[in-house]
Amino acid sequence: MASTTVVKRIFVAGHNGMVGSAIVRQLQQQDNVELVLRSRSELNLLSQADVQAFFQQEKIDQVYLAAAKVGGIIANNTYPADFIYENLMIECNIIHSAHLAGVNDLVFLGSSCIYPKLAEQPMQESALLTGTLEPTNEPYAVAKIAGIKLCESYNRQYGRNYRSVMPTNLYGENDNFHPDNSHVIPALMRRFHEAKLNNTPEVSVWGSGKPMREFLHVDDMAAASIFVANVSQETYESCTEPMLSHINVGTGVDCTIAELALTMAEVVGYQGCVTFDATKPDGAPRKLMNVDTLKRLGWSYSIELKDGLASTYKWFLAYQPDRKSVV
């Protein structure tokens, strides 16, 4: 008698975002997966009734909760109510509706901003709730912490298998390359690209270049999320605690902003001079994740920064319009 492959119906919430789309690309390569995807216009994640009806109807086996309202410092400062309300509602609706529909397996994607502003470096999972958060994105961070605690609480009360992963700074295809409201890698990539097009003799990078940051390619983040989702319960429980169950995802390797900028110039092919404006503020001197837990589970990153920047720039050239604006 021929064996039949059991097909898993997997819902990726936020499948159009940078991380969600990377998770989808990798799950699409698996034979035993049937993806269930809904755009914002098809399913309003802020509506409890809509999300509950969706879960009752679709018979989902596993969830990746990558949907979130995200933005830079200015957006977080200008719309703090939107950031805390929308993120809390998305998490509550998906996690509770999944539970009500009998979905046992879920992975929640958080952020390294959950850790205190002055957390010891590299940041360990145990640093959570040990100090004051960075004020600029505190509402967003509180919502992400609540997501971790939702997962843990449903595990403790109902025996669910809801896990949380906390990524470091991510980059890669489908990132936001907006000139005024993007993170350091897409912002630098765009600036060096436009400087190359315009033959700009010098690009000045904000700050001294001395702060150290960690960067993880989004394809590695997707791979780690899928790995954590499917690691055995025994292995997962041996590396976590019921009320300290989130897992850092990063490289465990950092570099200076100066090293990043010079590597970016090389990848883009910018031939001009790279300088650093030390009159501009630097931010925290170092932000690095301790990834020992993830290594104990059996996963490590595979995409080196220069290779990841090169593939990201290739995608940028293919999908971003050439705007010959003055840098």
| CA–CA gap between residue 301 and residue 291 (Å, rounded) | 10
Coil/strand/helix, residue 118:
coil
Residue 62 in tokens = 């596993």
| CA–CA gap between residue 119 and residue 2 (Å, rounded) | 55
Three-state SS sequence of 164-229: EEEECEEECCCCCCCCCCCCHHHHHHHHHHHHHHCCCCEEEEECCCCCEECEEEHHHHHHHHHHHH
140 tagged catalytic: yes
CA distance readout (Å), 12 to 27, 223, 320, 326: 10, 14, 25, 39
Closest by CA to 64, choosing from 112, 119, 8, 113, is 8
Q: Which of these is catalytic: 140, 162, 171, 301? A: 140
| CA–CA gap between residue 96 and residue 93 (Å, rounded) | 6
Active site residues: 140
